[in-house]
Structure 1
Amino acid sequence: MLNIAKARTVGMPDGGGEPKTPLDYAEQLASIDGKQATAEHKRATARALDHKALVTPLQLLADHSQRSSDRFAQSIDQIASRGIDTFHRNADRAVDDFHRAEDRDSRERVARFAATRRPR
Protein backbone atom coordinates (compact mmCIF):
# COMPACT_ATOMS: atom_id res chain seq x y z
CA MET A 1 0.00 0.00 0.00
CA LEU A 2 2.87 2.27 0.82
CA ASN A 3 4.29 1.80 -2.67
CA ILE A 4 0.92 2.60 -4.27
CA ALA A 5 0.59 5.75 -2.18
CA LYS A 6 4.13 6.78 -3.11
CA ALA A 7 3.44 6.11 -6.78
CA ARG A 8 0.43 8.43 -6.64
CA THR A 9 2.31 11.21 -4.96
CA VAL A 10 5.64 11.05 -6.80
CA GLY A 11 6.10 14.11 -8.96
CA MET A 12 3.16 15.94 -7.45
CA PRO A 13 3.60 19.10 -5.45
CA ASP A 14 2.75 18.90 -1.78
CA GLY A 15 2.49 15.17 -1.95
CA GLY A 16 -0.58 15.07 -4.23
CA GLY A 17 -4.20 15.74 -3.63
CA GLU A 18 -6.76 13.77 -1.85
CA PRO A 19 -8.45 11.05 -3.79
CA LYS A 20 -11.79 12.01 -5.36
CA THR A 21 -14.94 11.06 -3.57
CA PRO A 22 -18.19 9.95 -5.21
CA LEU A 23 -19.52 13.46 -4.49
CA ASP A 24 -16.64 14.96 -6.51
CA TYR A 25 -17.48 12.69 -9.44
CA ALA A 26 -21.18 13.59 -9.17
CA GLU A 27 -20.30 17.30 -9.19
CA GLN A 28 -18.11 16.81 -12.25
CA LEU A 29 -20.90 14.93 -14.07
CA ALA A 30 -23.42 17.61 -13.10
CA SER A 31 -21.08 20.30 -14.41
CA ILE A 32 -20.64 18.41 -17.69
CA ASP A 33 -24.42 17.89 -18.01
CA GLY A 34 -24.98 21.60 -17.37
CA LYS A 35 -22.49 22.57 -20.05
CA GLN A 36 -24.06 20.12 -22.50
CA ALA A 37 -27.53 21.51 -21.74
CA THR A 38 -26.30 25.07 -22.27
CA ALA A 39 -24.68 24.08 -25.56
CA GLU A 40 -27.87 22.32 -26.73
CA HIS A 41 -29.93 25.37 -25.79
CA LYS A 42 -27.59 27.59 -27.80
CA ARG A 43 -27.84 25.24 -30.79
CA ALA A 44 -31.64 25.21 -30.53
CA THR A 45 -31.72 29.02 -30.37
CA ALA A 46 -29.48 29.20 -33.43
CA ARG A 47 -31.74 26.76 -35.32
CA ALA A 48 -34.79 28.84 -34.35
CA LEU A 49 -33.11 31.97 -35.67
CA ASP A 50 -32.20 30.15 -38.90
CA HIS A 51 -35.78 28.98 -39.34
CA LYS A 52 -37.10 32.45 -38.59
CA ALA A 53 -34.74 33.85 -41.22
CA LEU A 54 -36.15 31.37 -43.72
CA VAL A 55 -39.80 32.00 -42.81
CA THR A 56 -39.71 35.79 -42.48
CA PRO A 57 -39.60 36.57 -46.23
CA LEU A 58 -42.46 34.15 -46.81
CA GLN A 59 -44.44 35.74 -43.99
CA LEU A 60 -43.82 39.18 -45.47
CA LEU A 61 -45.08 37.97 -48.85
CA ALA A 62 -48.15 36.40 -47.25
CA ASP A 63 -48.90 39.59 -45.31
CA HIS A 64 -48.51 41.71 -48.44
CA SER A 65 -50.73 39.36 -50.40
CA GLN A 66 -53.39 39.47 -47.67
CA ARG A 67 -53.34 43.28 -47.57
CA SER A 68 -53.63 43.43 -51.36
CA SER A 69 -56.51 40.98 -51.28
CA ASP A 70 -58.25 42.99 -48.57
CA ARG A 71 -57.83 46.22 -50.55
CA PHE A 72 -59.17 44.53 -53.70
CA ALA A 73 -62.20 43.16 -51.85
CA GLN A 74 -62.82 46.57 -50.32
CA SER A 75 -62.69 48.26 -53.72
CA ILE A 76 -65.04 45.66 -55.17
CA ASP A 77 -67.45 46.28 -52.29
CA GLN A 78 -67.30 50.02 -52.94
CA ILE A 79 -67.86 49.55 -56.66
CA ALA A 80 -70.70 47.13 -55.98
CA SER A 81 -72.36 49.51 -53.53
CA ARG A 82 -72.04 52.35 -56.04
CA GLY A 83 -73.34 49.98 -58.70
CA ILE A 84 -76.33 49.06 -56.57
CA ASP A 85 -77.05 52.74 -55.91
CA THR A 86 -76.80 53.44 -59.64
CA PHE A 87 -79.02 50.46 -60.37
CA HIS A 88 -81.66 51.72 -57.94
CA ARG A 89 -81.50 55.25 -59.39
CA ASN A 90 -81.85 53.89 -62.90
CA ALA A 91 -84.71 51.60 -61.85
CA ASP A 92 -86.49 54.54 -60.17
CA ARG A 93 -86.05 56.63 -63.32
CA ALA A 94 -87.40 53.80 -65.46
CA VAL A 95 -90.45 53.42 -63.22
CA ASP A 96 -91.05 57.20 -63.26
CA ASP A 97 -90.68 57.27 -67.06
CA PHE A 98 -93.10 54.36 -67.36
CA HIS A 99 -95.70 56.12 -65.18
CA ARG A 100 -95.34 59.40 -67.08
CA ALA A 101 -95.76 57.57 -70.38
CA GLU A 102 -98.80 55.70 -69.09
CA ASP A 103 -100.33 58.93 -67.75
CA ARG A 104 -99.75 60.62 -71.12
CA ASP A 105 -101.27 57.66 -72.99
CA SER A 106 -104.20 57.60 -70.60
CA ARG A 107 -104.90 61.32 -71.13
CA GLU A 108 -104.67 60.82 -74.91
CA ARG A 109 -107.15 57.91 -74.77
CA VAL A 110 -109.54 59.94 -72.65
CA ALA A 111 -109.23 62.85 -75.06
CA ARG A 112 -109.87 60.56 -78.08
CA PHE A 113 -112.80 58.97 -76.37
CA ALA A 114 -114.24 62.36 -75.52
CA ALA A 115 -113.73 63.49 -79.12
CA THR A 116 -115.52 60.46 -80.56
CA ARG A 117 -118.43 60.70 -78.20
CA ARG A 118 -121.40 62.57 -79.58
CA PRO A 119 -123.24 65.01 -77.50
CA ARG A 120 -127.01 64.21 -77.04
Structure 2
Amino acid sequence: MRNAPQLLQAYLDGIQDPASVARLFADDGVLELPYLKSLGIDARAQGPAAIESFIGSLLKNVPDFRFRNIRMLIETPEQAFAEYEVEAKVLSTGRIYQQMYAGRLVARDGKIALLRESLDTIAAANAFRP
Protein backbone atom coordinates (compact mmCIF):
# COMPACT_ATOMS: atom_id res chain seq x y z
CA MET A 1 0.00 0.00 0.00
CA ARG A 2 1.36 3.43 -0.96
CA ASN A 3 1.82 6.18 1.58
CA ALA A 4 1.19 9.90 0.98
CA PRO A 5 4.66 10.83 -0.36
CA GLN A 6 4.63 7.84 -2.71
CA LEU A 7 1.16 8.75 -3.97
CA LEU A 8 2.15 12.37 -4.55
CA GLN A 9 5.28 11.32 -6.43
CA ALA A 10 3.24 8.89 -8.56
CA TYR A 11 0.73 11.66 -9.36
CA LEU A 12 3.46 14.12 -10.32
CA ASP A 13 5.38 11.57 -12.40
CA GLY A 14 2.28 10.24 -14.14
CA ILE A 15 0.45 13.47 -15.02
CA GLN A 16 0.77 12.71 -18.75
CA ASP A 17 -1.43 9.60 -18.28
CA PRO A 18 -4.81 10.81 -16.93
CA ALA A 19 -6.27 7.31 -16.51
CA SER A 20 -3.27 6.11 -14.52
CA VAL A 21 -3.27 9.21 -12.31
CA ALA A 22 -7.02 8.95 -11.73
CA ARG A 23 -6.60 5.40 -10.41
CA LEU A 24 -4.45 6.79 -7.59
CA PHE A 25 -7.54 8.51 -6.15
CA ALA A 26 -10.12 6.96 -3.83
CA ASP A 27 -13.64 6.56 -5.22
CA ASP A 28 -14.56 9.77 -3.40
CA GLY A 29 -11.11 11.36 -3.78
CA VAL A 30 -10.86 15.02 -4.68
CA LEU A 31 -8.46 17.06 -6.80
CA GLU A 32 -8.95 20.76 -6.29
CA LEU A 33 -7.28 24.05 -7.15
CA PRO A 34 -9.48 26.37 -5.06
CA TYR A 35 -7.72 29.62 -6.00
CA LEU A 36 -8.79 29.28 -9.62
CA LYS A 37 -12.31 30.23 -8.53
CA SER A 38 -11.07 33.82 -8.47
CA LEU A 39 -10.61 33.46 -12.25
CA GLY A 40 -14.09 32.00 -12.68
CA ILE A 41 -12.78 28.45 -13.16
CA ASP A 42 -14.30 25.53 -11.26
CA ALA A 43 -11.19 23.47 -10.70
CA ARG A 44 -12.57 20.71 -8.48
CA ALA A 45 -13.01 17.13 -9.57
CA GLN A 46 -14.27 14.31 -7.39
CA GLY A 47 -13.88 10.63 -8.17
CA PRO A 48 -11.54 8.95 -10.63
CA ALA A 49 -13.71 9.52 -13.73
CA ALA A 50 -14.04 13.27 -13.12
CA ILE A 51 -10.34 13.56 -12.28
CA GLU A 52 -9.35 11.72 -15.46
CA SER A 53 -11.57 14.04 -17.51
CA PHE A 54 -10.20 17.17 -15.78
CA ILE A 55 -6.56 16.22 -16.40
CA GLY A 56 -7.33 15.03 -19.94
CA SER A 57 -8.87 18.37 -20.89
CA LEU A 58 -5.88 20.22 -19.43
CA LEU A 59 -3.51 18.09 -21.52
CA LYS A 60 -5.48 18.81 -24.71
CA ASN A 61 -4.69 22.51 -24.28
CA VAL A 62 -1.23 22.07 -22.71
CA PRO A 63 0.12 18.79 -24.17
CA ASP A 64 3.64 19.24 -22.76
CA PHE A 65 2.36 19.79 -19.20
CA ARG A 66 4.81 18.04 -16.88
CA PHE A 67 5.85 18.66 -13.31
CA ARG A 68 9.52 19.26 -12.62
CA ASN A 69 11.82 20.52 -9.87
CA ILE A 70 9.81 18.62 -7.27
CA ARG A 71 10.66 19.44 -3.68
CA MET A 72 9.00 17.32 -1.00
CA LEU A 73 8.77 19.44 2.12
CA ILE A 74 6.56 17.36 4.42
CA GLU A 75 6.38 13.58 4.32
CA THR A 76 4.28 11.52 6.71
CA PRO A 77 2.40 8.30 5.94
CA GLU A 78 -0.94 10.18 5.79
CA GLN A 79 0.10 13.56 4.34
CA ALA A 80 2.63 15.03 1.96
CA PHE A 81 3.35 18.58 0.91
CA ALA A 82 5.54 19.59 -2.01
CA GLU A 83 6.38 22.41 -4.37
CA TYR A 84 6.72 21.72 -8.07
CA GLU A 85 6.93 23.65 -11.32
CA VAL A 86 5.48 23.58 -14.82
CA GLU A 87 6.66 25.32 -17.96
CA ALA A 88 4.73 24.49 -21.13
CA LYS A 89 3.02 26.14 -24.08
CA VAL A 90 -0.73 26.75 -23.94
CA LEU A 91 -2.12 25.90 -27.37
CA SER A 92 -5.19 28.13 -27.15
CA THR A 93 -3.14 31.29 -26.49
CA GLY A 94 0.32 30.40 -27.77
CA ARG A 95 1.76 31.60 -24.45
CA ILE A 96 4.14 29.79 -22.13
CA TYR A 97 2.58 28.72 -18.84
CA GLN A 98 5.23 29.07 -16.16
CA GLN A 99 3.98 28.12 -12.74
CA MET A 100 5.02 27.11 -9.23
CA TYR A 101 2.53 24.83 -7.50
CA ALA A 102 2.25 23.88 -3.85
CA GLY A 103 0.37 20.65 -3.26
CA ARG A 104 -0.96 19.04 -0.10
CA LEU A 105 -2.00 15.41 -0.39
CA VAL A 106 -4.01 13.45 2.17
CA ALA A 107 -3.86 9.66 1.83
CA ARG A 108 -6.40 7.12 3.04
CA ASP A 109 -6.07 3.35 2.64
CA GLY A 110 -3.33 3.66 0.01
CA LYS A 111 -5.29 6.08 -2.18
CA ILE A 112 -5.47 9.85 -2.56
CA ALA A 113 -8.37 11.22 -0.52
CA LEU A 114 -7.51 14.85 -1.28
CA LEU A 115 -4.97 16.68 -3.38
CA ARG A 116 -5.29 20.44 -3.00
CA GLU A 117 -2.97 22.55 -5.13
CA SER A 118 -2.31 26.26 -4.90
CA LEU A 119 -0.73 28.38 -7.60
CA ASP A 120 -0.11 31.90 -8.80
CA THR A 121 -3.45 32.91 -10.32
CA ILE A 122 -1.91 35.86 -12.15
CA ALA A 123 0.51 33.56 -13.97
CA ALA A 124 -2.39 31.25 -14.83
CA ALA A 125 -4.53 34.11 -16.13
CA ASN A 126 -1.68 35.52 -18.19
CA ALA A 127 -1.08 32.16 -19.85
CA PHE A 128 -4.66 30.95 -20.38
CA ARG A 129 -6.78 34.06 -20.94
CA PRO A 130 -6.98 35.46 -24.46
With the length of structure 1 as denominator, give the TM-score of the two structures.
0.17
Structure number having the greater helix percentage: 1
With the length of structure 2 as denominator, give the TM-score of the two structures.
0.16
Which structure has the higher relative contact order (CA within 8 Å, separation 6+)? Answer: 2
Q: Which has the larger radius of gyration?
A: 1
Structure number having the greater strand percentage: 2
